[in-house]
Amino acid sequence: MALRQARATCPYCGVGCVLDVKSQDNALVQITADPAVAPNFGMMCPKGALLFKSDAPKRRLATPMMRENKDAPLREVSWKEVLRYTADRLTAVRGARGPDAVAFYGSGQLDTEASYLFTKLFKGYLRTNQMDTNSRLCMSSAVAGYVQAFGSDGPPTCYNDIESADTFVILGANMTANHPVLFNRVRRRRATRDSARIVVIDPRRSKTAEYADLHLPVKPGGDVALLLLAMRRLLEQGATDTAFIDAHTEGFDALKDLISSCDPVALHEASGMTASQIEAFAGVLVGDRRLLSFYCMGANQSTAGVDKNTALINLHLMLGEVGKIGAGPFSLTGQPNAMGGREVGYLCHQLPGYRKVTDASHRAEVERLWDIAPGSIRPTPGRSAVPMFQAAADGEIDALWIACTNPAVSMPNVSVTQAGLERAGLVIVQDCFKDTETARYADVLLPAATWGEKSGTMTNSERLVTRSRAVKDAPGKAVPDWQIVAAVGRAMGFDGFDFTSPKQVWDEFRKTTAGTPCDLSGMTNKRLERGGLHWPCSAESHPGTPRRYTDGRFPTPTGKARFHAAKPRGTDETTDADYPLAVMTGRVAAQWHTRARTGNVPELNRQAPEPFIEIHPDDAKAFGIDDGGWAYAVGRRGRALARARVTDKVTAGTVFLPFHWGDSFHPETAANFVTTDAVDPVSLQPELKFAAVRLEPASAPEATSAVALEEVAR
């Protein structure tokens, strides 16, 4: 077969690199990047460059599968049969148990077209808001933080701000591992501008922290206290931008009152920071310096996640470092299209165009756009991710449709999730691989075409919308996600799903955003074929908007940005004599989440072959753990097995445990057996960065699936 070539957006991280992909004889053979094309300008990281090895033909789900009863094995069926069965079962569950007994759990890795159709099907036609996605575990604190401060979600900044920034504050983000191409640009700026400085706020001396001019090893959860101390010092120094504060913000007095009422000794204690560390931090913030802050899961995945976000935004507002070239609080999105999912409104409280289900006029607008009866959209948010799986475990959700995510590994306190998957009467799993940990529970398996096999649209961390294209055919009967949703909608007898191309879906979606903060109605497919565009982009002649709020006006009722005076709070779970260590979970450079794709790539597996836990030498000694031996992290809900790495990169009292290896690697290696499902009270995002544990020496596991998976792949 002929050589094929196409441009596609990387399916991994929110940097959103645009890649040139080649296939031969319907197999991916090469990935390159064009130096002239934004946002990566020729750069890639090893995960992107090795994508052509991630395909694993033998692991692919190539045909629909189903079983009518839980004791029977899955059997291969036709699309016709699986669609009829799925539609009839969903209709039956709705009829018998009501619309809220049906739920959807999706992903920031779905393209915008599929995410939009899921939202339309569930909120518009199935008349339930019981839909949420893995973005709840990832971005919901950032969404809430932006909305509280600026009146709208979405970052004000763009990647090109890096080349004009002086001070980089990187809080709770390990960019060298998780946003590598973007961090290359930060490093280049640091190398070429003498006065540029990098500050990393992370309890761990991560690889990113090793590049920092100043590393602040904050106590886990202590970020708000740290930022209050920094703001206090800036106030003392008179370093605030009074003109900006007066003209463009509100709520500053309340913040000043809070700062003066806090006991500095308590703030130092909560943050673990010394006076000289705060002094050094304030030193790189004052003066005529552009401040660009990047933050990710160390900020969001916390029971104080929204407060951490707003505290960092407060710092920017206080210094007037918003809406200027080279400045702004820049929330890094994790997944390639978590931003696009927010635009279509796929969380349980959202509607397309940053609208909310709780707003009557928003519901009426969307009902008009969808041409459905007034009152169709329900006015109360559905259950967010954690309560959704709890409800399944309690028998309140009978049909659960899961697409493009692997919650049997990635949910916090995963035993509850697994119990929910076990109990739900109908579990539909839509994935490109047949052997994921979640697929074990499926009654219906819907085969999805994956990256490189479909065209669709994604929005990266900087609001840049790009189109990804197909370079090979999907195996067997697999089809793109948007087609699967549309087909189920039609099989259920709904009339809003007559789409025959992704372009038709995109055209319908972009119109729903007209006049909203994330207006991308001017982005035709034809324009996107020529290159990415930043929203807002309200007309076909509009060039796109790399930077927002440059006029100092914000989409709040008064037009002003809002300070938030949030007191530092402790974490919900605390350590004690039985569980004296705080475990932080996270990622490594060579693996992507539950390894569905990176686990197939030998080069990546060799770099990160097995689960490990970073332990400070003092703690290793206290618990009798040897470097290179195996250990259990034993928590209040369960335990996780990993190989010990004794290192002073973590501070005494904390351990770091990546979550990539689920319980199919070895029955005891899922990090999420120990995590808590406590959530932030505003964003409902779970705390994945703090659980109390102790350590116990363990013997080496007899067999793991690491090598086996690679062999199956080839």
Ligand X SMILES: Nc1nc2c(c(=O)[nH]1)N[C@H]1C(S)=C(S)[C@@H](COP(=O)(O)OP(=O)(O)OC[C@H]3O[C@@H](n4cnc5c(=O)[nH]c(N)nc54)[C@H](O)[C@@H]3O)O[C@H]1N2
**Residue 320, SS3?**
coil
From 43-51, 153-161, 227-235, 601-609, span contacting ligand SF4 (CB under 6 A):
43-51
Strands 65-66, 27-32: pairing is unpaired
* 403 counts as binding ligand X under rule CB under 6 A: yes
DSSP 536: P
DSSP per-residue letters across 404-446 = S--HHHHSSSHHHHHHHHHH-SEEEEEESBS--TTGGG-SEEE
* 10 counts as binding ligand SF4 under rule CB under 6 A: yes
Find the helix or strand (DSSP H, E) in which 171 lies. strand 167-171
Q: Which residue is nearest to ligand SF4 (CB)?
A: 48
* 562 counts as binding ligand SF4 under rule CB under 6 A: no
From 40-48, 64-72, 104-112, 309-317, span contacting ligand SF4 (CB under 6 A):
40-48
With CB under 5 A as the rule, give the number of residues binding Mo ion. 2
* 159 counts as binding ligand SF4 under rule CB under 6 A: no
Residues 9-48: x/- map of binding to ligand X (CB under 6 A)?
----x-----------------------------------
Of the pair 117, 138, the CB lying nearest Mo ion is at 138
Least distance to ligand SF4, CB of residue 16, Å: 6
* 15 counts as binding ligand SF4 under rule CB under 6 A: yes
Among 424, 218, 304, which residue's Cα sits nearest to residue 682? 304
Task: Compute CA distances 469 → 113, 454, 455, 456, whole Å.
Answer: 13, 6, 4, 7
Say how many C-beta atoms besides its own lie within 10 A of residue 269's C-beta. Answer: 13
From 11-19, 98-106, 515-523, 582-590, span contacting ligand SF4 (CB under 6 A):
11-19
Q: Identify the sign of the CA torsion 199, 200, 205, 206.
A: negative
Of the pair 45, 198, the CB lying nearest ligand SF4 is at 45
Q: State the Cα–Cα distance between residues 7 and 15, nearest whole angstrom.
A: 16
Q: State the Cα–Cα distance between residues 25 and 345, nearest whole angstrom.
A: 39
Q: Which of 99, 334, 407, 517 binds Mo ion (CB under 5 A)?
A: 334
Q: State the Cα–Cα distance between residues 701 and 310, nearest whole angstrom.
A: 44
> CB of 90 within 8 A of CB of 397?
no
> CB of 611 within 8 A of CB of 667?
no
Q: State the Cα–Cα distance between residues 386 and 570, nearest whole angstrom.
A: 21
Strands 581-586, 533-534: pairing is unpaired
Least distance to Mo ion, CB of residue 335, Å: 5
> CB of 456 within 8 A of CB of 404?
no
Least distance to ligand SF4, CB of residue 298, Å: 18
Main-chain dihedrals φ then ψ at residue 538, nearest 5 degrees: -95, 0
Q: State the Cα–Cα distance between residues 633 and 401, nearest whole angstrom.
A: 32
With CB under 6 A as the rule, give the number of residues binding ligand SF4. 13
From 116-124, 401-409, 525-533, 573-581, span contacting ligand X (CB under 6 A):
401-409
Contacts (CB under 6 A) with ligand SF4, residues 177-216 = 180-181
From 54-62, 132-140, 298-306, 542-550, span contacting Mo ion (CB under 5 A):
132-140
Of the pair 10, 404, the CB lying nearest ligand SF4 is at 10
Q: Which of 16, 64, 106, 203 binds ligand SF4 (CB under 6 A)?
A: 16
* 635 counts as binding ligand X under rule CB under 6 A: no
Contacts (CB under 6 A) with ligand X, residues 520-579 = none
Least distance to ligand X, CB of residue 439, Å: 8
Burial label, 65 (beta-carbon count in 10 A; 0-12, 13-18, 19+):
buried
Q: Which of 18, 31, 77, 137 binds ligand X (CB under 6 A)?
A: 137
Q: State the Cα–Cα distance between residues 627 and 623, nearest whole angstrom.
A: 12
Least distance to ligand SF4, CB of residue 211, Å: 16
**Residue 262, SS3?**
coil
Say how many C-beta atoms besides its own lie within 10 A of residue 555's C-beta. Answer: 16
From 230-238, 457-465, 493-501, 670-678, span contacting ligand X (CB under 6 A):
670-678
* 93 counts as binding ligand SF4 under rule CB under 6 A: no
Residues that bind ligand X (CB under 6 A): 13, 107, 109, 134, 137-138, 171-174, 177-178, 201-204, 206, 218, 220-221, 223, 296-298, 301, 334-335, 403-407, 410, 430-433, 436, 448, 450-451, 481, 584-587, 589, 591-594, 596, 656, 659, 671-672, 675, 688-689
Residues that bind ligand SF4 (CB under 6 A): 10, 12-13, 15-17, 40, 44-45, 47-48, 180-181
